[in-house]
């Protein structure tokens, strides 16, 4: 259930980003990532996000116990990871 929810939420947010530019600004995915769901978001994108979330939450829970701290630090780490991954993907033309 959690995986399904994350995949659908990721697909929705990424799809809205591609179609409207909100919340990230205008961007697109090249065809290098394969088939796009509804012609907008590559099939791999929602499924690639789940391991990142799981990994950051797993690491953070080793150091913190309070749920709100886990959520905040996990979100912060995900943003840092995204700041690293996105420029690389743009450079690769993805």
Q: In the prediction, which pLDDT does 24 show? A: 79
Number of independent structural domains in the chain:
1
- What tens digit of pLDDT does each residue of 18-28 get? 999 998 788 88
Q: In the prediction, which pLDDT does 94 show? A: 84
> In percent, how much of the chain has pLDDT > 90?
55
- What φ, ψ does residue 50 adopt, rounded to 5°? -60, -50
Asked if residue 30 lies in contact with residue 94, where contact means CB atoms within 8 angstroms, the answer is yes
- What tens digit of pLDDT does each residue of 54-63 get? 999 999 999 9
Q: Distance (Å, rounded) from C-alpha 56 to C-alpha 85?
A: 15
Q: Residue 79, exposed/middle/buried by CB under 10 A (0-12, 13-18, 19+)?
A: exposed
> In percent, how much of the chain has pLDDT > 70?
100
Range of the domain at 17: 2-91
């Amino acid at each position: 259930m959690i995986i399904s929810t994350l995949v659908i939420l990721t697909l929705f947010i990424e799809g809205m980003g591609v179609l409207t530019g909100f919340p990230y600004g205008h961007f697109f995915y090249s065809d290098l990532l394969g088939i796009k769901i509804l012609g907008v978001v590559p099939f791999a994108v929602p499924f690639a996000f789940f391991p990142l979330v799981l990994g950051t939450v797993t690491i953070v829970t080793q150091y913190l116990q309070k749920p709100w701290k886990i959520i905040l630090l996990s979100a912060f780490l995900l943003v840092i990871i995204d700041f690293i991954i996105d420029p690389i993907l743009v450079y690769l033309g993805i």
